[in-house]
């Protein structure tokens, strides 16, 4: 509680600091107009003190305006930096959405007001000088040097400010102008994986390596990837498969590249792991689970339907924990999971059964494989590119094990029993309340029920 309270106080402090910075930016802008206008007014007076006229004040107008521009750009940079930090770290989801929306739809005119206003003040000072000297000043090369230097300094400083602002905006995902550097690499990687039929080959591996090296150059970029992939620190690796679920061997060049990169940068072992296929002994790379879900490498998952031991038209349903990143609190299969490493589908099935329901393999009878299919995450769910080859099983629970069923994992909030007709109605009428595993696998289960029971 203390830590959360301190974080909340710190965020509130940032909010107050952002408001103060915005007020300071406005104050400097008003002072710029006031001082420049005063110099223009004094410079236009036909007054001389010891043979020195006030018209020389006109030559100070663009430099005074430029001095205020430095202060204005500094405060504006601070505002953008605070906004980028809040967009990445605020605990308020609505505030994060607002900051992301603002970063994509920034005012294109307000930043330009700084150099444009300075240029207008320079033009005004130039016209007053020319009118006082009745045009003779334009014959002096120093006059044109003054004009050119003033203009170049104004727009040069503005260009430097734009580059600094772009850099701070690129420090978080979803930044302006196409996103941050890792976001651009990630977009290219996702496109490469899709064109490679969701498989790991030389092209997709090279894209992953580019993303990794871009994260090495700047810790903020790695933090961006970690925020986009909450499973980043999870030490689970998956085997890439083709559309029929057949394991894919990696080329020798890719394996060699991984060995060289991981020897130089040990953190690359969080992205891939080298193994040998049991049948052929060929070396291949397993892909980190977080990376599979982030960019769409195809991997295998197993789904298990468990029917009630005595009620033949009823089946078990899991209620997902509300802490789950995907489909929190929704109805799902009673047991399902990814096939990790070189494990088999059957091994994974019984491991998930024990992990999620605290049941052994003897608790099931009439275990049957009812089909398989490929699943791809819909594009309307940002941040996920999950592509799975799903193998679906159906079984019936033994009567002696009925009272032993409970949510043994923190990922399981509850276990419920529905009639098949009720579950079909929920799936059709309330798809948002049903996780993708149950929703997509349910037609295979229904078809098997029709074939078995008529």
| Tens-digit pLDDT profile for residues 241-264 | 999 999 988 999 999 999 999 999
Phi, psi of 308 (to 5 degrees): -65, 145
Q: What is the pLDDT of residues 306-358, one digit of tens each?
A: 999 999 899 999 998 887 767 788 999 999 999 999 999 999 999 999 988 88
pLDDT at 21 over 70: yes
pTM of the model: 0.61
At 174 the pLDDT is 43
Q: Which is higher by pLDDT, 145 or 108?
A: 145
At 108 the pLDDT is 60
Across the range 67-81, mean pLDDT stands at: 81
Q: Which fold has domain 298-453?
A: Nucleoside Triphosphate Pyrophosphohydrolase (3.90.79)
Across the range 365-372, mean pLDDT stands at: 93
Percent of the chain scored above 70 by pLDDT? 82
At 51 the pLDDT is 55
pLDDT at 175 over 50: no
Across the range 370-396, mean pLDDT stands at: 85
pLDDT at 234 over 80: yes
- Mean residue pLDDT across the chain: 82
Which string of b and e fits 335-352 if b means at least 16 CB within 10 Å? Answer: bbbbbbeebebeebbbbb
Across the range 393-412, mean pLDDT stands at: 84
Q: Specify the range with the lowest mean pLDDT, choosing from 46-60, 198-212, 360-374.
A: 46-60
At 239 the pLDDT is 95
pLDDT at 371 over 80: yes
Q: Distance (Å, rounded) from C-alpha 398 to C-alpha 362?
A: 8
Domain ranges of the chain: 2-169, 181-295, 298-453
């Amino acid at each position: 509680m203390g830590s959360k309270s301190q974080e909340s106080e710190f965020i509130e402090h940032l909010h107050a600091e952002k408001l103060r910075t915005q007020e300071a930016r406005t104050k400097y802008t008003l002072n710029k107009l006031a001082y420049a206008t005063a110099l223009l007014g004094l410079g236009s007076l036909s007054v001389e003190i010891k043979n020195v006229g006030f018209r020389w004040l006109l030559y100070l107008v663009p430099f005074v305006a430029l001095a205020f521009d430095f202060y204005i750009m500094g405060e504006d940079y601070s505002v953008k930096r605070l906004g980028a930090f809040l967009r990445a770290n605020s605990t308020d989801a609505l505030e994060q959405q607002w900051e992301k929306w603002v970063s994509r739809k920034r005012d294109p005119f307000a930043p330009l007001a700084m150099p444009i206003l300075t240029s207008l003040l320079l033009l005004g000072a130039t016209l007053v000088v020319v009118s006082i000297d009745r045009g003779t000043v334009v014959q002096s090369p120093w006059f044109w040097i003054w004009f050119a230097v003033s203009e170049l300094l104004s727009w040069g400083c503005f260009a430097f400010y734009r580059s600094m602002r772009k850099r701070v905006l690129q420090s978080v995902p979803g930044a302006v102008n196409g996103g941050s550097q890792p976001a651009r690499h990630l977009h290219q990687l996702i496109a490469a994986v899709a064109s490679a039929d969701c498989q790991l080959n030389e092209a997709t591996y090279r894209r992953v390596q580019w993303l990794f090296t871009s994260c090495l150059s700047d810790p903020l970029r790695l933090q961006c990837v970690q925020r986009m992939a909450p499973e980043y620190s999870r030490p689970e690796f998956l085997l890439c498969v083709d559309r029929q679920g057949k394991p894919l061997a990696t080329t020798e060049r890719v394996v060699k590249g991984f060995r060289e990169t991981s020897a130089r940068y040990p953190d690359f072992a969080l992205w891939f792991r080298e193994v040998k296929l049991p049948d052929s002994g060929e070396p291949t790379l397993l892909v980190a689970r977080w990376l599979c879900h982030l960019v769409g490498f195809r991997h295998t998952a197993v789904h298990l339907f468990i029917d009630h031991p005595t009620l033949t038209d009823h089946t078990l349903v899991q209620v997902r924990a509300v802490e789950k990143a995907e489909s929190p609190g929704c109805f799902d299969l009673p047991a399902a999971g990814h096939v990790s490493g070189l494990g088999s589908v059957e091994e994974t099935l019984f491991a998930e059964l024990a992990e999620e329901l605290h049941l052994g393999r003897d608790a099931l009878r009439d275990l049957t494989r009812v089909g398989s299919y490929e699943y791809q995450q819909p594009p309307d769910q940002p941040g996920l590119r999950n592509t799975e080859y799903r193998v679906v099983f159906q079984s019936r629970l033994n009567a002696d094990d009925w009272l032993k069923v409970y949510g043994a994992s923190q990922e399981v909030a509850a276990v419920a029993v529905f009639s098949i007709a009720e579950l079909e109605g929920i799936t059709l009428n309330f798809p948002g309340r049903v996780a993708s595993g149950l929703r997509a696998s349910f037609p295979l289960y229904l078809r098997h029920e029709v074939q078995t029971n008529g």
